[in-house]
Amino acid sequence: MIERKLLFTGATGAGKTTAIAAISETKMVRTDVPNSDPTVSKALTTVGLDYGEITLDNGEKFRLFGTPGQQRFAFTWPILSRGAIGLIILIDNSAADPLADIVTYARGFQPLIESAACVVGVGRLETHVRPSLDDHSRTLASVGLLCPIIPVDVRQKADVLLLIDILLTQLENKR
């Protein structure tokens, strides 16, 4: 059975909550709490899942999930992947090691990426130009994956829509 859901993943602060909120029609189920991790300068962080919904023209609900960002929740990734139409990986280019992040999520979701589709959005490029998008592309290729990689600011709804557009284009063109 095909499920009607899409996954967003990425490290803490990459913008998963922001991206889902940009397109969800239901008020986000807020699970953000004050952040207690001193290494991340961020007031709120999501505990558990982000969840949003949009209603299709036949009345069906399409669900948007943000995976828990912290790697200690990696055990949930295969469960969440089941039946998803695809994956959007968000990278915060101002993080300590963005290239390590892209490898973490590309490897962690490899089965979904290979069986469905994936697109990578890299944020905060305006202030952090390195690593470049080409560096990200080479890194993905080095783990044997090829996904579209584009610059984004997920506070802009148009950028979130572009990510979904690219994901759908891939699905439509797969064998």
Ligand X SMILES: Nc1nc2c(ncn2[C@@H]2O[C@H](COP(=O)(O)OP(=O)(O)OP(=O)(O)O)[C@@H](O)[C@H]2O)c(=O)[nH]1
Q: Is the CB of 62 or the CB of 73 nearer to other proteins?
A: 62
Q: Which residues bind ligand X (CB under 6 A)?
A: 10, 12-18, 45-46, 69, 123-124, 153-155
Strand-pair category, 32-34 with 44-46:
antiparallel
Binding window for Mg ion (CB under 5 A); candidates: 41-49, 86-94, 109-117, 157-165: 41-49
Q: Is the CB of 46 or the CB of 81 nearer to ligand X?
A: 46
- Give me the least distance between CB of 44 and Mg ion, in Å please: 7
Distance CA 166, CA 175 (A): 16
Give the torsion through C-alpha atoms of 158, 163, 99, 83, to 10 deg.
140
Distance CA 171, CA 157 (A): 21
DSSP summary character for residue 127: T
Q: Is the CB of 86 or the CB of 123 nearer to ligand X?
A: 123
Q: Is the CB of 30 or the CB of 138 nearer to Mg ion?
A: 30
Q: Is 81 in the site for Mg ion (CB under 5 A)?
A: no
Give the torsion through C-alpha atoms of 52, 60, 153, 93, to 10 deg.
70
- Give me the least distance between CB of 73 and other proteins, in Å please: 27
Write out the residues near Mg ion by the rule CB under 5 A.
Answer: 16-17, 46
